[in-house]
Amino acid sequence: MKTDTAIRHVTPPGANLFLELGFTPAEARRLQAASHKQINDTRLLKQQLMEALAGWIAEHQLKQAEAAEILMVSRPRVSDVVNKKTTKFTIDTLVEMLSRIGKPVTLTVG
């Protein structure tokens, strides 16, 4: 039996996915705004964690290969941290890397 893999619909960039899923226009706008806020908040948190890691690397004048060995990651991963490529990391991974260098992360809500 052949699997049907035909693409039947493509959501255009910038479209409100929630509207396309059948939510009312008002609810779709609310959900889209909420999702954008959540994505931005996550990005900002990742940036803070990356700044702490990059600051530690600079403070100790480490080459990326040296930092990679200490952090137990590859050199390209260190480059991604230093260049703040937030989409390449989870918050958990960044917290774990900070823990490896003796910088525990404390979360404050509010």
- Average pLDDT of the residues in 73-102: 96
| Distance from C-alpha of 93 to C-alpha of 63, rounded to nearest angstrom | 21
Instruction: Calculate ∠ Cα 96-103-108, nearest 5°.
Output: 85
Please give the average per-residue pLDDT across 37-49, as a whole number. 95
Residue 84 CA: distances (Å) to CA of 45, 77, 110? 11, 10, 25
Report the CATH number of the 21-100 domain.
1.10.260.40
- Could you state, in order of their start, the residue ranges of all structural domains in the chain? 21-100
The arithmetic mean of pLDDT across residues 81-96, rounded, is 96
23 band by pLDDT with thresholds 50, 70 and 90: very high
Sign of the C-alpha dihedral, residues 75, 81, 86, 89? positive
Q: How confident is the model at residue 61 (pLDDT cuts 50, 70, 90)?
A: very high
Are 98 and 106 in contact, with CB atoms under 8 Å apart?
no
Mean pLDDT confidence for 85-94: 96
